[in-house]
Structure 1
Amino acid sequence: MEIYIKYLLVGLAIALPIGAITVEMTKQGLKNGFIHGWAVGLGGMTIDLTLIFALYFGLASVLSLPYVQMPLWIIGACFLALLGYDSIKNADHDITLAGEKPTKSFWSTYKNGILVAVSPGNLVFWVSVFGAVLSESYKSAHSGSFIIAAVGVLSGILVHDIGLLSIVATTRKVMSKNMIKWSSIVAGGLLFIFAGYFIYEFLNDLIKYIR
């Protein structure tokens, strides 16, 4: 139980900083309500769970190679930039106010969560994070420790998602379509910023590789 609580808090801590998933989750929560925002979060957690198993079987050592990481950063930047462009271009599409029935399906927003989380640059970032926070349990002689730690991290992310979307769902009740539209535009801008961060990481790795 002590290991679980420890890594639940770790999962909550690493989920708190605003990331691409958080931006998409908030945008969909504002546009289509709690369930659709949560669908994005569940899509992201599906990738998180897959990465945890991949870490256990040695994927981290492959992604840590410079010539593997570098192209992933730049591809990820392009991917997030396209998502940002789509968010701004379609800012006034698929908006349903509180009390209205969403036109978008649950599985459509779930797929969005997977697509954001599977961005190559995002994969490198999260593998690095999970590699750091789970390294202690990963090296343990008891494989059960790793599993408990992994469940704790995912539980922390789930607590963050539900808490965030509860706030979003409450805020949405007093927002007009125009306000939600501008929230989507801001979300697109933030995705462009994350794309810029990935480009920065690519250039940083390229400089180190050349030297």
Structure 2
Amino acid sequence: MDWYLKFILVGFSIALPVGAITVEMTKQGLKNGFFHGWAVGIGGMTIDALLIIALYFGFAQILSLPYVQMPLWIVGAVFLFLLAYDSIKNADKDISLAGDKINRSLLKTYRNGLLVAVSPGNLVFWVTIFGVVLADSYSQSGQASFIISALGILTGILLHDIGLLSIISITRKVMSRAMIKWTSVIAGILLFGFGCYFLYEFYVDVRSVF
């Protein structure tokens, strides 16, 4: 149990820094409520779970190859640019104030979470940071320890998402349509910034290889 609680704290702590997933989750939570924001988080956690499985089967070395990472920087940047464009263009659309009927599909929101999470930044983070942590737990205590560690990390991320979206749900009740609109615009600008960062990382990797 202590081991599990330890990795819950690890998962919670790494989910705290603001990233592209947090930005998209906050935007959807404000525009369409708790469950749409959570759908983004679940989309991100789906990729996290798949990466844990990949690490377990030894695919970390493949993901860490420069020739694998470089195309992912471009793909991630394109996805973020598309989400940023959609966020700014449709800032005043699909806004559901507290008590309104929500028309947006949860599946589409979940898809956004998947697209944001399929980024080299997320992949590299899991391969480098969690790859080491999980590999260490596996070497020390075997398969059972690895599974408990992975479940603890995912639980920590889940608790972070629920806590964040609970705060957003309360805040949403006192926000006007105009405030939510401008929040969506700001989220789009931040997502565009993350996309530019991905392009920069692609440029750095190209220079280091060639």
TM range (shorter): over 0.9
* 1:164 equivalenced with 2:153 (yes/no): no
Q: Give the letter for the 1:101 counterpart.
A: K
Q: CA deviation at 1:190?
A: 0.8
8 Å contact kept, 1:32–1:97: yes
8 Å contact kept, 2:76–2:116: no
Q: CA deviation at 1:120?
A: 4.8
Q: Give the letter for the 1:158 counterpart.
A: L
Q: CA deviation at 1:141?
A: 4.8
> Is the deviation greater in 134-143 or in 172-181?
134-143
8 Å contact kept, 2:95–2:180: yes
> 1:189, 1:33 → 2: CA distance?
21
8 Å contact kept, 1:140–1:146: no
Gaps of 5+ in 2: none
Q: 1:191/1:204 Cα in 2 relative to 1: closer, same or farther (>3 Å)?
A: same
8 Å contact kept, 2:79–2:115: no
Q: 1:42/1:19 Cα in 2 relative to 1: closer, same or farther (>3 Å)?
A: same
Query: 2:152 aligns to what?
Result: 152
Gaps of 5+ in 1: none
User: With structure 1 as the length reference, what TM-score do the two structures score?
Assistant: 0.93
Query: 1:71 aligns to what?
Result: 71
Q: Percent identity?
A: 68
Superposition CA RMSD, Å:
1.5
* 1:123 equivalenced with 2:123 (yes/no): yes
8 Å contact kept, 2:73–2:119: no
User: With structure 2 as the length reference, what TM-score do the two structures score?
Assistant: 0.94
> 1:159, 1:41 → 2: CA distance?
11
Query: 2:83 aligns to what?
Result: 83
> 1:131, 1:93 → 2: CA distance?
40
Q: 1:86/1:151 Cα in 2 relative to 1: closer, same or farther (>3 Å)?
A: same
8 Å contact kept, 2:70–2:206: yes
Matched residue SS, 1:139: helix
> Is the deviation greater in 57-66 or in 151-160?
57-66
> 2:177, 2:133 → 1: CA distance?
40
